[in-house]
Amino acid sequence: MKIDGIAHIQITAGRYAPARAFYGELLPFLGLELIRDNDSGAMWLGGRTGVILSPPAPEYDGERFVQRRIGLHHICFNARSRKDINAARAFVQTLDVPIIRAPREDNFAPGYYSILFEDPDGVRIEINHVPKRGLLDPKPAKAKIKAPRQA
């Protein structure tokens, strides 16, 4: 079996109203469409990606995310170009959330370029671009070998 990506990710917000407003702006900017919005949460789909936002259980209302606790570390969306990363920076600056790391190159893979910021509860979100295959894979793609031309 080979998986075909991640179908969706579900986030439980500590403060649902600010998180709903934030994701209601960010996810359409990333090309996801709101398909469900009710008392149990909201769901956006697009680009072979689904994001679900849920309110917390009453005893956890108001809590903030702790990045290094067991479980989720951060979420990373893959962009199609470096230009998209720069556009994301300009957009995120309008959302009044912390930008942890402005767009920059990293050595995770050749050409890796990304921005890192937080949602209202402190969940870290990265948007990256990796040229060519778009995957976090340091191995080069296999070269296609052409048969020699016959005269």
Residue 41 · residue 52 · CB < 8 Å: yes
Q: Is residue 93 part of a domain?
A: yes
Q: Is residue 142 part of a domain?
A: no
Q: Is residue 91 part of a domain?
A: yes
Question: Would you state the structure tokens that stand for residue 117, as one six-digit string?
Answer: 């910021």
Q: Which residue stretches of 33-109 are H helix?
A: 82-92
What's the rounded Cα separation, in Å, for the pair 9 and 30?
A: 15
- pLDDT tens string, the chain, 151 residues long: the values are 888 888 999 999 999 999 999 999 999 999 999 999 999 999 999 988 999 999 999 999 999 999 899 899 999 999 999 999 999 999 999 999 999 999 999 998 899 999 999 999 999 999 999 997 655 555 554 544 444 455 4
Please state the domain count of the chain: 1
Please report, for the domain that includes residue 62, its CATH number.
3.10.180.10
Query: Structural domain of residue 80, as residue ranges?
Result: 9-129
Q: Which residue stretches of the chain are H helix?
A: 16-29, 82-92
Q: Which residue stretches of 34-127 are H helix?
A: 82-92
The strand order across the sheet containing 124-129 reads: 75-78, 124-129, 113-118, 99-105
